Amino acid sequence: MDKKEQAKSIPQPAQNATGFHKMTEVTPTKQSPLVLAIFVGVIILGLISGYFLSRKTLAVSTNSSSSTNSSGNIKQINKGDTYGSTDTKTFKDTVDGIMKKGGIGDEGQYHLVRPGGDSQNVYLTSSTVDLSLFIDRKVKVWGQTQKAQKAGWLMDVGRVEVEN
């Protein structure tokens, strides 16, 4: 068999008048709507949970005697209420005093006034508890001591208990 005869015996793909090969169509599977529904459901659940998590306040009470308003903010603080983290391994340092606004230099946004004058003040910052709720209240705080340049004692507060 010579090359011309071999070429004739090999089946050639069918061509239409335009010169293009006809492609076979792929039909979508029956799982496509199910996968789409699951995908949409996961997105909706993510949006709902994100909404509710964003409405949660930073100061969380572990005692049910405090009350909150409709936006979730604490409106009444009672003696004995505890706010913030229960992690006593991270927040192992404790101190008590009267909460006042203002730090020293650029260290702390609040400070605790203690007996013995200004040299005994503890300067405070917190990313877990809203310390502004406790201004002019006697409190006990749990925190982690931080390195300071100007403050004698700088603490990152994780938990607050109202004493008065």
131 domain residue, yes or no: yes
13 domain residue, yes or no: no
130, 160 Cβ separation under 8 angstroms: no
104 domain residue, yes or no: yes
Predicted TM-score (pTM) of this structure: 0.54
2 domain residue, yes or no: no
71 domain residue, yes or no: yes
27 or 141, higher pLDDT:
141
* Residue-number span of the structural domain to which 36 is assigned: 18-164
What percent of the chain lies above the pLDDT cut of 90? 40
4 domain residue, yes or no: no
Give the CATH number, domain containing residue 107. Answer: 2.40.50.110
| Dist. CA 70–CA 100, nearest whole Å | 27
36, 43 Cβ separation under 8 angstroms: no
Instruction: Decide if pLDDT at 28 tops 80.
Output: no
154 domain residue, yes or no: yes
130 domain residue, yes or no: yes
